[in-house]
Structure 1
């Protein structure tokens, strides 16, 4: 009978089978494999809008709605599809005097999430929005992403499994056993995104660098040892 007991911190693996049974099912190796693939992003996501301060609620709301509409129209004219612009936040907050008791006015915010599917137009789209919103423009987040990462995930999954199998084979060889059938597979993935720009005040002439998108995959596989 072969008895196997081993653990390696940092490698996320465990060998089990430290019992008295001679059954092959009692001897297994569980190993975590990782796979990573990089690809070029093909869409840009942005969260932006306008913020207007006024002495009363109606003026603040009317003002911010007008700015938000102008910004949305400008982005459409710059090449964004209208259906790729979605309202993400509407808010109206009172503003107080320094002593914190009397209301001196109201602050209204109207923000949208926009998806730019043609990266060659991304800089022009953001610049058009900023010019339309003027000093009331607010940009909270800009990031690049993949519209469809299924191909990269497939490649990363295959690399993760091969990594796990290679590790398991090494431990089988070290223990003088053979790698048998797969008993269990547990997987997780991370498509990730690439944050590029965060700013609360308006700027123009955006210089955007899409970089590379990393898709990673982790798989834990348990093999029977025989």
Structure 2
């Protein structure tokens, strides 16, 4: 009867090994659960803040061109060059700094006749253009200087656009940045209160791109006489945005 007597010992040994295995698994599960790094705080709030300030523009930029059409390229180019040089000389003589005048376009294009049915278009003349960008500061002088441009350029004058800007907007950007951060902090504090927690330290800050909304006016129609061009600078808005992350305690 040896087989009958040894069977209980085999069963008891198997049960003991199973219990030991369950205990080891339980310890392993506990170690895994407590493996999070010390000091980690998953309670955070990420908010977006924005700020805006307004300032009065101090610079006007005008895009001015002289255009002539003539039967040959030399005449068209010479007339355009001479007239534009006269405009530049008049501006400098009126107090505009030479570095505030920049050439933006020089072009010479043939002009064609309307082709008859079955025929081909032919060159009838040539058109020359010379464009400059003029920065006028202070803006109080803009009306007078635009009138001077028109008087000097005559019927060949083309004013395509004028725009206002602020030469140094860094103080406005600094103010807008502070307002954006205050806005983000106020939002974060509100979320902390709503969740029954306290606002902790700042974990990260990222800036959005600051932007300046330009003030533009429609291009003024060239007057026949040297009368001041009515202009209103209005205001410019400088905007800034920020995204910040706070701890919640």
Q: TM-score, normalised by structure 2?
A: 0.77
Per the TM alignment, residue 125 of structure 1 is displaced from its structure 2 partner at its CA by: 0.8
Name the CA distance, whole Å, in 2 between partners of 1:25 and 1:102.
79
Counterpart position of 2:65: 49
Counterpart position of 1:174: 194
Give secondary structure in 2 for the equivalent of 1:48: strand
Name the CA distance, whole Å, in 2 between partners of 1:224 and 1:84.
50
The answer on 1:90 being equivalent to 2:120 is no
Report if aligned partners of 1:86, 1:112 keep a CA contact under 8 Å in 2. yes
The answer on 1:117 being equivalent to 2:140 is no
Deviation digits for residues 96-130 of structure 1, max 9, x if unmatched?
A: 11127211111111011111122221111111011
The answer on 1:152 being equivalent to 2:172 is yes
Name the CA distance, whole Å, in 1 between partners of 2:247 and 2:135.
47
Report if aligned partners of 1:27, 1:224 keep a CA contact under 8 Å in 2. yes
The gaps in structure 1 that reach 5 residues or longer are: 1-20
Q: What is the alpha-carbon root mean square deviation over aligned residues?
A: 1.8
Q: Which has the higher strand share?
A: 1
Q: Which has the higher helix share?
A: 2
Q: Say which is worse superposed, 123-132 or 171-180, in terms of deviation.
A: 171-180
Name the CA distance, whole Å, in 1 between partners of 2:43 and 2:106.
59
Counterpart position of 1:72: 88
Per the TM alignment, residue 192 of structure 1 is displaced from its structure 2 partner at its CA by: 2.7
Match of residue 243, structure 2, among 220, 223, 226: 220
Per the TM alignment, residue 132 of structure 1 is displaced from its structure 2 partner at its CA by: 0.7
Name the CA distance, whole Å, in 2 between partners of 1:104 and 1:63.
18
Name the CA distance, whole Å, in 1 between partners of 2:60 and 2:76.
30
1:16-31 equivalent positions in 2, closer than 5 A: 24-31=40-47
Counterpart position of 2:74: 58
Report if aligned partners of 1:75, 1:126 keep a CA contact under 8 Å in 2. no
The answer on 1:198 being equivalent to 2:219 is yes
The answer on 1:189 being equivalent to 2:210 is yes
Report if aligned partners of 1:79, 1:121 keep a CA contact under 8 Å in 2. no
Q: Say which is worse superposed, 190-199 or 167-176, in terms of deviation.
A: 190-199
Give secondary structure in 2 for the equivalent of 1:220: strand
Give secondary structure in 2 for the equivalent of 1:198: coil
Counterpart position of 1:17: none
Per the TM alignment, residue 205 of structure 1 is displaced from its structure 2 partner at its CA by: 2.6
Name the CA distance, whole Å, in 1 between partners of 2:42 and 2:122.
74
The gaps in structure 2 that reach 5 residues or longer are: 1-35
Instruction: State the structure with more CA Rg.
Output: 2
Name the CA distance, whole Å, in 1 between partners of 2:127 and 2:204.
56
Per the TM alignment, residue 24 of structure 1 is displaced from its structure 2 partner at its CA by: 4.9
